[in-house]
Chain A
Amino acid sequence: MTRFLITRILSAVPVLLVVSLVTFLLIWLVPGDISAELGGTDATPEELEAIRRRLGLDRPLWERALAWYGDLFRGDLGYSYLLQRPVLDAVLERLPVTLSLAGLALVLATVMGLMLGILAAVRHNTLADQGAMVTALIGLSIPDFWFGIVLIILFGVWLGWLPTGGFVALTDDPLGWARSMTLPAMTLALTQMGVIARMTRSSMLDVLGQDYVRTARAKGMPRGTVVFRHALRNAMVPIVTVVGVLTGILLSGAVVIETVFSLPGVGRLIVGAIQRRDFPIIQGGLLVTACVFVFVNIIVDMLYGWFDPRVRDGR
Chain B
Amino acid sequence: MIPSLGLRTPLRLVAAVATALLACTLPGAVSGQQRGGTVVVAQAANPPTLDGMATAAEAARNITMHIYETLYAYSETIAPIPQLAEGVAISDDGLSYVFTLRQGVRFHNGKEMTARDVRASIERYRRVGATKSLLAPVESVEVTGDHEVTLRLSARTPMFLEAFASPRAPVVIIPEEDAAAEVGRISMVGTGPYRLVEYVPDSHVRLARFEDYAEDTRYAGSDGFGGRKAPHFDEVVFRIMPDPGAQVAALEAGEVHVLERIGVPSGRRLAGSDAIVVHENMPWAFTVLIFNTAAGPGANRDFREAVQAALNMEEIMAIVGEGLFDLNHRWQYRGSTYDPGEVGRDRYNRSDLARTAELLARAGYAGEEVILVTDTASQQNIRTAVVAEQQLRAAGINVVIRQFDQPTVLELRRRPEGWHLTTGQMGAAPYFGPVDTLATMTGAQPLFLAPDPQIDALFRELANGPTVEARQETFRRAQAYLYESFPIIKIGDWGKMEATRSNVRGYVPFRIPRMYNVWFEQ
Contacts and interface: CB of A to CB of B under 8 A. Distances in A.
B249 A264 contact: no
B407 A33 contact: yes
A269 B133 CA distance: 32
Interface stretch (B142-150, B199-207, B211-219, B350-358): B199-207
B292 interface: no
B252 A31 contact: no
A41 B130 contact: yes
Contacts of A41: 56, 130-131, 168-169
A157 B247 CA distance: 11
Residues of A in contact with B, size category? 35 or more
Interface string B250-284: 10110100000000000000000000000000000
Contacts, number: 126
A268 B168 CA distance: 27
B466 interface: no
A31 B411 contact: yes
A42 B130 contact: yes
Contacts of A272: 46, 201-202
A305 interface: no
B2 interface: no
B414 interface: yes
Interface in B39-82: 46, 48-49, 54-56
Given A36-B410, A262-B239, A275-B405, A45 B253 contact: no
Contacts of B133: 42
Nearest to A260: B243
Interface in B153-190: 168-169, 183-185
Interface in B225-246: 239-243, 245-246
B454 interface: no
B334 interface: no
B412 A31 contact: yes
B336 interface: no
Contacts of B412: 31
Nearest to A261: B246
Residues of B in contact with A, size category? 35 or more
B301 interface: no
A163 B255 contact: yes
B408 A149 contact: no
Contacts of B241: 165, 262
Contacts of A9: none
A166 interface: yes
Nearest to B242: A259
A36 B130 contact: no
A82 B250 CA distance: 28
Interface in A22-46: 30-34, 36-42, 44-45
B444 interface: yes
A80 B250 CA distance: 31
A189 to B, nearest CB: 19
Contacts of B255: 156, 163-166
Contact of A275 (B55, B134, B200, B406): B406
B129 interface: yes
B203 A33 contact: no
A152 B251 CA distance: 12
Contacts of B410: 32, 36
A280 to B, nearest CB: 14
A82 B48 contact: yes
B48 A37 contact: yes
Contacts of B252: 157
A84 B243 contact: no
B130 A82 contact: no
B445 interface: yes
A264 B205 CA distance: 12
A153 to B, nearest CB: 6
Contacts of A153: 249
B116 interface: no
Interface string A235-278: 00000000000000000000000111111110011001011110
A236 B169 CA distance: 60
B162 to A, nearest CB: 16
Contacts of B405: 32, 274-275
B56 A262 contact: no
Contacts of A164: 246, 249-250, 253, 255
Contacts of B242: 259, 262, 268
Contacts of B246: 148-149, 152, 164-165, 260-262
A99 to B, nearest CB: 16
Contact of B129 (A40, A157, A268, A276): A40
Contacts of B130: 39-42
A274 B242 CA distance: 16
B444 A45 contact: yes
A92 interface: no
Given A149-B245, A166-B203, A264-B202, A156 B253 contact: yes
A167 interface: yes
A167 B203 contact: yes
B183 A269 contact: no
Nearest to B131: A42
Interface in A132-163: 145, 148-149, 152-153, 156-157, 160, 163
Contacts of B505: none
A312 B398 CA distance: 65
A44 B134 CA distance: 13
Nearest to A159: B253
B132 interface: yes
Nearest to A43: B130
A36 B407 contact: yes
Contacts of B249: 149, 152-153, 156-157, 164
Interface string A58-83: 00000000000000000000000011
A153 B185 CA distance: 40
A149 B247 CA distance: 10
A1 B143 CA distance: 75
A302 B268 CA distance: 56
B250, B377, B407, most chain A CB atoms within 10 A: B407
Contacts of A39: 130
A32 B406 CA distance: 9
A262 B414 CA distance: 34
B48 A276 contact: yes
Contacts of A45: 414, 444-445
Contacts of A260: 243, 245-246
Contacts of B201: 83, 264, 269, 272
Nearest to A84: B184
B407 A264 contact: no
Nearest to A32: B407
A34 B412 CA distance: 14
B455 to A, nearest CB: 17
Nearest to B201: A83
7 contacts: A31-B407, A31-B411, A34-B407, A94-B202, A156-B249, A262-B202, A268-B242
Given A32-B406, A41-B169, A166-B255, 5 more contacts: A32-B408, A37-B48, A164-B250, A166-B203, A262-B202
The 6 closest A-B pairs by CB, nearest first: A40-B130, A32-B407, A264-B202, A32-B411, A264-B203, A84-B184
Interface of B: 46, 48-49, 54-56, 129-134, 168-169, 183-185, 200-204, 239-243, 245-246, 249-250, 252-253, 255, 377, 404-412, 414, 443-445
